[in-house]
Structure 1
Amino acid sequence: MIESHVCMSGIGVLESIPQINGRYLSPYTLEGRRRKIKCNEEKPICFGCTKSNLQCRWRSDGNDGTSQSLHANEANVVKQDVVYYIDNGHASFKSEGAPMGNVALETTLLEPVLDPVLEISREDYISGSIQQFTLQDSVPLPAHPIPSTGPLVSLEGFEPPVGNPATESCDPVSSENIQLIGSSAVTLGTTPLSGPSGWMGVSEMPEHSVLMDSFFGGFLPSVSPQFCDPRLSPSAVFVPQFVADPLLKEVFYACGAAYLSNTVPGMRELAQEKYEQCLMQFSHRVDQSVGDAQDWMVAVALLLCLRDKFIGTTPEISAIHLAKTLRLIRELRKSTEGVSVNLKVFVESFLFNYSVMIITGGESVSKFLPSPFEIFDEVRSILDYHPYQCPVPWMENPVFGAATKTVEIAAKSSWLLSQYPLNDADMALACNLLSETYKIRYPPMAPDAEIRLGSQSYFMLQESVTVSEIVRHSCQLLLMRLIIPNLESSHISIKQKVALIYDMMKGLSEDSPLWVILGWSMMITGLNSIQPDHRSFLIHSLYRCASKFHAAFLVQIADFLEKVWIANNDSQDFGWSVIFDKKLLSNICI
């Protein structure tokens, strides 16, 4: 039986896509799931069935003694899929057996406004093959009210944490900058973490065992959002550096303390103390080895960047750490031949943290760091390095996942925002970036990817595509605003795009670690949100993820958005226009 599904492209072109009945059924579901049955034969081992949790029946072929598997379809699986049709980057979706709804996935209403500025042919929108992905519906988010107690952390007015903004040193982690870096003062209430102690090389002090447990059991998982090849995971890259230099142990302690910074009495003070000790030692070690960077040095610099997300910091402090990281990466590339797995992970981690902080970094970014137009071209060969043959291509992107291109566009869009008002050259760049968002394509998955990886892993990889689509549409919101500064959030095209982003967010699992990398998109979408239910969902999601992953920067975003929304109710000229207020944006660091 052949079913025909309708896909709406970016300009309203309907495409009829033939599909074989049952094509999107997979052996996993949230409801009606049957208990999996393992193969009852002694040999050979059925790799496909065990990985995908299917019942397997064996029969001998009678010739060479080998066996062949007959995979039993779970025909009684009951589930509802969300089917993504990605046509040149346009992610249309619908529930199987359900109407499309009233939300237009892409609107043509903005085209008359953008046509004088953009010279994008219709062929650019609709040419190319159609790729198909299936996403399982997550459990709908319950309608929890926003906590009446307000944010876990209150930013007084819009004043940033106390610090010394006048940093003149050329070396971002020199001793003159230690006082500035140690001044971030935003904390987050967290939950206790328990776990086994006794890590090799850790002292017998209970304090150190707790901190090491916190690092391995809490900190590392929270900074490992993507499902990737295990050899490319942050754990596989950062943990081996533990034996490279004794300073790594102290950094692990500092990160573990940051993760638990407001859980145990006195932990906040301990976290700050260990942080400052690490900064001083690291600055001294780096000064002694100028031009001779090693992997463990880059690991330390990145861990200090990531540590700030748990404590909370200012854009200037983040820029200082990232500048040090970039310097070390450049030195490491000069001293080594080719591209290593470690270098790929280091570069992706740096690029992501750099990309999302540009929008609020303002002068701090231009003071310490080059533009993303320069940086991404500089490391393009590393981003394109694929050391392993994975069934899903973005399994080799340990930080970006499927969102490598969309995060790059987000970084460049944020940089253009920092240059506002745009000159003619920057306006042309903005138009080109907007055009690129409509041409993004995702490489196809291997036909047997779900069998080889298993249903849960396969689902996580599909969620990575959803995250990329959320970032892509958020980029379009920002670029439209840059190209047409007086475009209001009440414009029908903006409202429909915002509604689409929220629908995609609701399709993500509530406990997905991918929420951690959506801070940039949630801020952009939040500034465009005018419906109460959208705002309520976003604030609920920010606080939920901040609590689950101990990410203080998400609390900063939530508090910032609530203040903007309150001000917007008093003045219709506020709200989305705050995106152009560099002073206000500098109070948060994503």
Structure 2
Amino acid sequence: MFNKFRLTTNNKKKFVAANFKRKIKGLTDSENQTLSPKRKRTGCFCCRKRRIKCIGTRPVCENCLKKSYLCVWPDGEESLSHNTEFKLTKVIIDKETLNLNKPNQATTDTCNFRQLEGHSDVSSSIDLNSKVIQKTYYDSTDVFDSVKDAMFRKVLIELNSSVLKSQISRLTTFPVLTNKEVFLFNAFTNGFMTDVSPQFTHAKLQPGAVFIPPGINNAIMQRIFFACGASFLLTETKSLEMKKLSNEQFRLYSDGLTDFIQSCDISGNEEWIILSLLLSYLKLRYVHDNQTTNTLSMISIVEGMKFWILKKRQQSTYELSITSSDDGPEFELHTFSSKLGDNPKVTNPIIPKQSTENEVKFCQIINAFRKKLKGRDPMVARDPDYFIKPSDIVSVDSEIYFAISGEETQKRELLMPYEKTMLDSFIFNYSTMLFTCDKSLVGEIASPFIVYDLIRPYLLHPIYKCVVPWMNHPVVGAALPMFELQAKICWLGLRLPLSTEDSTIVHHIRKTASFYIRPILPARVYTREPVSVQQKLLESCFAAEIMSKAIYIYATKLLYPRMQCDDESIQTAAEQAYQAFQKLSFQSQVHVVLCFAMTVLGSVALSKKHRQFWLLKMDKLKAVSRVRAFESMRVIFQKAWYELDETCRPMGWDVLLDNECLKILLV
């Protein structure tokens, strides 16, 4: 069930050859009319190669459909050149869902497509740059990009499986798992972790290589594995049993983690605790509770990150080196009793306003963290308004400059691979949560101006020598500086109406985003790396450009809330982002980290072309990824574009600041 991907077919149009008259010099018109029509070569390349008569139906002929061949059509009247060796490529197509009976109307029918064993390089036999080969049973670019996306997902699944196999010698608790738990773990490994792996990165930095090992001998983490697996299956099967399993396993996990934090020393356990909390937050993208639960979940992660920052401050940075041959970390439970200090200063406990079970569980975890912290909170050690209200504009400029450039003069700290992925996942989820968080809990959330100031030394140092530096960022990729700007602009969006100081910062962020230029691949990538690798690295670059346009539009909305979205500057940015999206395949994994950007850009879509593009993209992404974000974005677009009833006019980009709309959004 994990290897199937859904692709959208194009219109099926019957090919009709025109009537051609044959003429020979030297003959009269009456004699030419008696000649039989000259034979014209028509049909797909596959039928010509097989030397059979082509049925002529586009985009896929019935002959290719019956024999499961990739149907390739010529462009116009051109044919293959004489020196071209066309090779047939076999694929599997679900014939039941391929509708060939509707030639004159658009369709969203889908077909299941997967790769055959022994045909791993589907595109190797076809020159994609040929002017002749432009059409397949979808658009040629779409189908081959979709095949590459499917291959990438298959690589992720194999990587996750290999991580588990490499830990076999350490297995102590898995042999006692029930069949149901093994089934849930398999869904977590092959389905859930594949969905949340957006970038092409070093193998040891992939989320599956980092999140899976801690749960091998950790009963607490195994519970969140099972909960995530059940949540993934729930979106696939809509089974009430899976929903029950997800809630039950999460309850066991949260109770176990709360007891552990209260009774044991957190020192030495920071990483696996944070990783498990990140998984619990990601689980909510499949089984949504409410806006408050999402916010409380992220607050618990921030509380855990405080312990990790304290740990890194205490560690010395002497002579650590990491190579691709280094083994993964050993995650063990340190169950020594905690020695609490005598400092009476304790952060006030958080009390849930509602009584949902998940809210209560997250509040218990947060309060357990805060009780343990005992006045050592690194995020309140400074004046909380230090970055929010700078004394002069130079401080604002320098913060944004370092966020964009990553200057060598900045202090850098070395991380282990699992810490790098953990930090990257935190950056993405924290920055995105600030867009949709519960405003009643803003006072409990750490400011991104402080958070990024504390973690920036750990962001800038690449730990592996890769073809491009952003391969050391397994979640945010080349868009790292844009996620910092996104977090800060969303934080300021929670403080409306803007003060003079806040407006100054928003102006600078808007200016920075407007002049941002996406990264460019080094020349060696084009000469040494295969096309599939080039494509994945380019997707990360275009994702950064797309985010910059979304940040510019959102900052404009904060500064000029009464402006209409048909303003030339807004539509220019939207069109530039649309052009960048054309460089991404419709089913690319990188869309997972672009939810904020897609929401902003979709809300300002005015042309029919843009709106159809967004609706089609949401449908295709929903078919591949099981997260509910794309479904919720479609609802937001409906509110922005259309009159839902006589009393409700289209909201336009006002949806970006409407709390009721943001409650619907599951990014």
- Name the TM-score, length of structure 1 as normaliser: 0.65
Match of 1:319 among 290, 295, 300: 295
Match of 1:232 among 189, 198, 205: 205
Cα gap change, 1:588 to 1:313, in 2 (>3 Å): farther
Aligned 8 A contact 2:295 2:438 in 1: no
Match of 1:511 among 583, 587, 591: 587
More strand by share: 1
Question: For residues 234-313 of structure 1, what are the structure 2 equivalents within 5 Å?
Answer: 234-264=207-237, 265=239, 266-289=241-264, 291-292=266-267, 293-313=269-289
Match of 1:476 among 539, 552, 556: 552
Structure 1 match to 2:129:
78
Structure 2 match to 1:561:
637
Deviation, structure 1 residue 354? 1.1
Question: For residues 97-136 of structure 1, what are the structure 2 equivalents within 5 Å?
Answer: none
1:212-232 superposed Cα distances (whole Å, 9 cap, x missing partner): 211111111111100011121
1:334 maps to 2:310: yes
Aligned 8 A contact 1:362 1:418 in 2: no
Deviation, structure 1 residue 393? 1.1
Aligned 8 A contact 1:319 1:364 in 2: no
1:202-221 superposed Cα distances (whole Å, 9 cap, x missing partner): 54633222212111111111
Cα gap change, 1:252 to 1:219, in 2 (>3 Å): same
Q: Distance in 1 between matches of 2:309 and 2:609?
A: 49
Structure 1 match to 2:187:
214
Q: Distance in 1 between matches of 2:590 and 2:426?
A: 17
Question: For residues 308-387 of structure 1, what are the structure 2 equivalents within 5 Å?
Answer: 308-336=284-312, 337=315, 338=317, 339-364=415-440, 366-387=442-463
**Which is worse superposed, 435-444 or 496-505?**
435-444
1:150-196 superposed Cα distances (whole Å, 9 cap, x missing partner): xxxxxxxxxxxxxxxxxxxxxxxxxxxxxxxxxxxxxxxxxxx9999
Give the match's secondary structure for 1:389: coil
Structure 2 match to 1:20:
none
Aligned 8 A contact 2:628 2:666 in 1: no
Give the match's secondary structure for 2:642: helix
Cα gap change, 1:270 to 1:79, in 2 (>3 Å): farther
Structure 1 match to 2:652:
575
Amino acid across the alignment from 1:314:
N
Cα gap change, 1:582 to 1:34, in 2 (>3 Å): farther
Match of 1:457 among 489, 513, 533: 533
Deviation, structure 1 residue 403? 0.4
Cα gap change, 1:581 to 1:392, in 2 (>3 Å): same
**Which is worse superposed, 331-340 or 343-352?**
331-340
Q: Distance in 1 between matches of 2:452 and 2:520?
A: 24
Cα gap change, 1:453 to 1:78, in 2 (>3 Å): closer
1:205 maps to 2:178: yes
Q: Distance in 2 between matches of 1:413 and 1:141?
A: 37
Question: For residues 9-28 of structure 1, what are the structure 2 equivalents within 5 Å?
Answer: none
Match of 2:468 among 392, 401, 410: 392
**Which one has the largest radius of gyration?**
2
Aligned 8 A contact 1:202 1:208 in 2: no
Deviation, structure 1 residue 444? 5.2
Cα gap change, 1:139 to 1:385, in 2 (>3 Å): same
Cα gap change, 1:245 to 1:516, in 2 (>3 Å): same
**Which is worse superposed, 416-425 or 502-511?**
502-511
Q: Distance in 2 between matches of 1:288 and 1:250?
A: 19
Q: Distance in 1 between matches of 2:589 and 2:608?
A: 26
Cα gap change, 1:484 to 1:344, in 2 (>3 Å): same
Amino acid across the alignment from 1:274:
Q
Deviation, structure 1 residue 396? 0.6
Give the match's secondary structure for 1:261: helix
Q: % of aligned pairs identical?
A: 22
Amino acid across the alignment from 1:78:
N
**Which is worse superposed, 239-248 or 301-310?**
239-248
Deviation, structure 1 residue 491? 1.6
Aligned 8 A contact 2:284 2:294 in 1: yes
Aligned 8 A contact 1:319 1:368 in 2: no
1:457-491 superposed Cα distances (whole Å, 9 cap, x missing partner): 22101011111111110111111122222221122
Q: Distance in 2 between matches of 1:482 and 1:246?
A: 46
Deviation, structure 1 residue 569? 8.1
Cα gap change, 1:319 to 1:202, in 2 (>3 Å): farther
Count of aligned residue pairs for this structure pair: 423
Structure 2 match to 1:434:
510
Question: For residues 159-174 of structure 1, what are the structure 2 equivalents within 5 Å?
Answer: none
Question: For residues 523-534 of structure 1, what are the structure 2 equivalents within 5 Å?
Answer: 523-534=599-610
**Root-mean-square deviation over aligned CA pairs:** 3.5
- Where do 5+ consecutive residues of structure 2 fail to align? 1-71, 74-79, 88-120, 132-138, 146-156, 318-414
Aligned 8 A contact 1:312 1:553 in 2: no
Amino acid across the alignment from 2:246:
A
Q: Distance in 1 between matches of 2:243 and 2:482?
A: 36
Q: Distance in 1 between matches of 2:661 and 2:128?
A: 51
Aligned 8 A contact 2:235 2:626 in 1: no
Deviation, structure 1 residue 340? 2.5
Q: Distance in 1 between matches of 2:652 and 2:236?
A: 35
Give the match's secondary structure for 2:224: helix
Aligned 8 A contact 1:405 1:440 in 2: no
Aligned 8 A contact 1:568 1:574 in 2: no
Deviation, structure 1 residue 503? 2.6
Structure 2 match to 1:22:
none
Q: Distance in 2 between matches of 1:313 and 1:79?
A: 50
1:225-279 superposed Cα distances (whole Å, 9 cap, x missing partner): 0001112111221111123522222211111111011444321221222122212
Match of 2:524 among 448, 463, 487: 448
- Where do 5+ consecutive residues of structure 1 fail to align? 1-29, 37-51, 56-73, 81-135, 143-192
Q: Distance in 2 between matches of 1:569 and 1:470?
A: 33
Deviation, structure 1 residue 373? 1.4
Give the match's secondary structure for 1:379: helix
Aligned 8 A contact 1:390 1:396 in 2: yes
Deviation, structure 1 residue 572? 5.5
Q: Distance in 2 between matches of 1:77 and 1:576?
A: 39
Q: Distance in 1 between matches of 2:475 and 2:507?
A: 27
Q: Distance in 1 between matches of 2:479 and 2:613?
A: 23
1:407 maps to 2:483: yes
Deviation, structure 1 residue 441? 4.6
Structure 1 match to 2:142:
139
Aligned 8 A contact 2:517 2:545 in 1: no
Q: Distance in 1 between matches of 2:303 and 2:586?
A: 37
